[in-house]
Amino acid sequence: MMPQMDFERARFNMVEQQIRPWDVLDQQVLDLLLRVPREDFVPQQYRVLAFADLEIPLGHGERMLQPKLEARMLQELALTGTDKVLEVGTGSGYMTALLASLARHVHSVELVDEFTVAAEGKLKAQGLHNVTLENGDAARGWDRHAPYDVIVLTGSVPILPPAFAASLNPSGRLIAVVGEPPVMEARLITCVAPGACKSTDLFETCIPSLRNVLQPERFVF
């Protein structure tokens, strides 16, 4: 195990060398990344890689997003202390912790029971109690607690199911990575009026897909 001092150095370097160069300059987000211990959310055998610029395996074929991608998504959502958030894919619980630190309440839905149980313990250890963790398949929408102010998809989708935008409050924000390998776009959807949304493509990336996603219709010749 790395000494604690090394973790602090690695955390600082992550912010300065990976995250700032990716145009994440919101001081509230940067302070949060320095405060929430990412190493406590990665699997034990990968703790030394907690701050590396890569996706970390979680088991069950799932991976943590790169730190810079998590940070950029967080910045683009411009969370406030009054936001009710839906997170699709709890995974390690790290993104959940970041969201919960800035929002009023986070509803996080995960297919893998093991992830939910582990995340619950980690979030409580951080003193975060404004989170409701649920097991289920939210890849095509999750209107159980709708409407939401913010929706975050932590895996990609080939096409964005309309149910998500329909679950947003007026002025609500949704961030998702949309497309198929090798080219996907991180997309910010903003609800400008009831039933009306605008879409902004932020940057190209490529991340693992959510399971059971809505598939585009394929032409058969």
Residue 110: which CATH number? 3.40.50.150
Q: What are the strands, taking DSSP E only, across the chain?
A: 56-59, 62-64, 84-88, 105-110, 131-135, 148-153, 168-180, 183-193, 196-205
Is residue 211 a part of any domain in this protein?
no
Is residue 219 a part of any domain in this protein?
no
Mean pLDDT of 50-74: 96
More confident site: 3 or 123: 123
Kind of pairing, strands 56-59 and 131-135? unpaired
User: In the structure encoding, which two tokens stand for residue 159, read together?
Assistant: 């096409």
Is residue 173 a part of any domain in this protein?
yes
Is residue 213 a part of any domain in this protein?
no
Nearest to 112 by CA among 136, 141, 96, 143: 136
Is residue 156 a part of any domain in this protein?
yes
The percentage of residues in the chain with a pLDDT greater than 90, rounded to a whole number, is 91
Per-residue pLDDT at 2: 46
Is residue 212 a part of any domain in this protein?
no
Per-residue pLDDT at 215: 87
Is residue 97 a part of any domain in this protein?
yes
Counting the structural domains of the chain, the total is: 1
Q: Is the peptide bond before 57 cis (omega within 30 degrees of 0)?
A: no
pLDDT tens for 104-162 read 999 999 999 999 999 999 999 999 999 999 999 999 999 999 999 999 999 999 999 99
Residue 98 belongs to what domain range? 4-205
Is residue 112 a part of any domain in this protein?
yes
pLDDT tens for 7-45 read 999 999 999 999 999 999 999 999 999 999 999 999 999
